[in-house]
């Protein structure tokens, strides 16, 4: 082993760590955890890719509503692909073995790729959190007369996470001066404690994930919805608890990694839970669109809810029901009548009104506009009275809350 002592160190022939007493380095029967790596990556991809595809199909084709969070989620999946690619490349060098079964050269290559993965990690995580928080903000939007504290909190968390991940990025980018010292510890230079930075990042991730989980649950609990629908919506958002569980496990293995001199062996569970963490965040962004997608599937691809920019408000005398353009968006759904025929198109206005189209609509569901049977049913909701009590009128209190209910319905029901 003289060639493994300085200054005659042969990095291509010496083990990356001196083995425990009685253990022979580079054993041909050395234990390996490479199967765990392959299985974890395969399962996470098998879940994340179809989930994103379902979300994008639902938003782009069924709902025809693509927003910034949808594009952010696509970019998050691209970053996640790069992250897992680096993880697999990293395992090519140490093959899931103990550090005394890996050469010094391969250990250095491993830590170089780990640093690249740490830099890339911040992009898919932040983009996934941005997508989830913007989605929450759209479900509970602020209005001109009633600010939504949930929406404000969502924006606060977006900017807080942005600042956090910018700091984390530069900590790992400039962890050592010169940077080469990150994977070549024997050269001269100085380094910060990246292990502590990794642990701090994991702990802050847990706090952020808990806040993201609580926000929509608090908002839904305040809405006056049928309890079955409320339980279903809460169940969908509660899947965010998966990300919290994974983050807690990642913190646990980060502590073990920082204490264990056998870095290549301790790295395996840490990196696997890091990969699973990003996958669960992506899945949490997609779960909310699954009910709408499966409803579309059950209808054979014919049940499509389309939002248009023309609202219909009945007016005039004698039931003439003249249609006029409105800035409010209307949600149209086709419904079959009890006798098997198609009824007129139901117009559920964002202001909480329900208006039926003309009586005796055609077979394709188009009600006759302006017929004598056109009826406008202006629902007087209990929430409207609350709006009057606050001095904002019926269209500033309960009606705005009704808007949130309908937003939740079209988003997750």
pLDDT by 10s per residue, the chain, length 413? 556 766 667 788 888 888 888 888 888 888 888 888 889 999 999 999 999 999 999 999 998 989 999 999 999 999 999 999 998 888 888 878 899 999 999 999 999 999 999 899 999 999 999 999 998 888 877 766 556 788 888 899 999 999 999 998 998 998 889 999 988 888 888 888 877 888 888 888 888 888 888 888 877 777 776 777 777 667 777 777 888 888 899 889 988 988 889 999 998 998 899 899 999 999 988 988 888 898 899 888 765 554 433 333 334 444 434 333 343 333 334 333 434 444 343 333 333 344 444 444 444 444 434 444 433 333 334 443 344 333 444 444 455 555 555 555 555 54
Q: Which long-range contacts (CB under 8 A, 24 or more apart) does 132-136 make?
A: 132/69, 132/212, 132/240, 132/281, 132/284, 132/285, 133/157, 133/158, 133/212, 133/215, 134/67, 134/68, 134/69, 134/72, 134/158, 135/69, 135/285, 135/288, 135/411, 136/212, 136/215, 136/216, 136/219
Would you call 336 helix, strand, or coil by DSSP? strand
pLDDT of amino acid 407: 54
DSSP class of residue 235?
A: H
C-beta separation of 236 from 411 below 8 A: no
- Only one residue has tokens 């506009």, namely 369
pLDDT of amino acid 336: 39
Nearest to 380 by CA among 401, 404, 398: 398
The DSSP H or E segment spanning 347 is strand 346-349
DSSP 145-206: SS--HHHHHHHHHHHHHHHHHHHHHHHHHTSEESGGGGT-TTSS-EE--HHHHHHHHHHHHH
Nearest to 383 by CA among 371, 372, 375, 395: 395
pLDDT of amino acid 61: 92
pLDDT of amino acid 139: 80
Token readout for 251 is 């913190």
Residues contacting residue 251 through CB under 8 Å, at least 6 positions apart: 199, 202, 203, 206
DSSP class of residue 307?
A: E
């Amino acid at each position: 082993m003289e060639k493994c002592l300085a200054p005659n160190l042969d990095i291509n022939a010496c083990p990356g760590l001196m083995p425990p007493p009685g253990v022979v380095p580079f054993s041909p029967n050395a234990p390996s955890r490479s199967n765990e790596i392959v299985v974890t990556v395969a399962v996470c991809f098998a879940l994340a890719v179809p989930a994103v595809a379902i979300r994008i199909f639902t938003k782009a084709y069924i709902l025809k509503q693509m927003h910034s969070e949808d594009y952010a989620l696509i970019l998050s999946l691209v970053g996640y692909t790069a992250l897992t690619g680096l993880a697999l490349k990293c395992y090519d060098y140490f093959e899931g073995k103990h550090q005394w079964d890996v050469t010094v050269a391969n250990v250095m290559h491993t830590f170089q790729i780990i640093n690249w993965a740490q830099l890339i990690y911040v992009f898919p995580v932040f983009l996934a959190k941005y997508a989830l928080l913007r989605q929450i903000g759209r479900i509970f939007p602020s209005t001109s007369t009633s600010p939504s504290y949930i929406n404000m909190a969502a924006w606060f968390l977006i900017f807080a996470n942005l600042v956090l991940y910018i700091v984390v990025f530069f900590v790992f980018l400039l962890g050592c001066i010169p940077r080469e010292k990150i994977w070549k510890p024997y050269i001269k230079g100085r380094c910060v404690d990246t292990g502590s930075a990794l642990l701090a990042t994991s702990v802050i991730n847990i706090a952020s994930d808990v806040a993201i989980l609580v926000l929509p649950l608090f908002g839904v609990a305040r809405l006056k919805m049928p309890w079955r629908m409320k339980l279903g919506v809460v169940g969908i958002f509660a899947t965010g608890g998966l990300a919290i569980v994974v983050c807690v496990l990642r913190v646990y293995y980060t502590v073990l990694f920082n204490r264990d001199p056998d870095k290549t062996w301790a790295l395996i569970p840490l990196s696997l839970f890091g990969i699973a963490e990003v996958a669960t965040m992506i899945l949490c962004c997609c779960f909310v669109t699954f009910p709408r997608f499966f409803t579309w599937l059950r209808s054979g691809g014919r049940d499509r809810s389309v939002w248009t920019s023309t609202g219909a408000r009945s007016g005039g005398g004698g039931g003439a029901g003249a249609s006029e353009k409105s800035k409010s968006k209307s949600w149209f759904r086709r419904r079959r009548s009890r006798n098997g025929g198609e009824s007129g198109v139901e117009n559920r206005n964002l202001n909480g009104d329900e208006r039926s189209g003309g009586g005796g609509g055609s077979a394709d569901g188009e009600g006759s506009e302006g017929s004598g049977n056109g009826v406008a049913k202006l629902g007087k909701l209990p929430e409207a009275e609350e709006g009057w009590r606050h001095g904002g009128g019926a269209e500033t209190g309960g009606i705005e809350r009704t808007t949130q209910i309908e937003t939740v319905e079209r988003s997750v029901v």
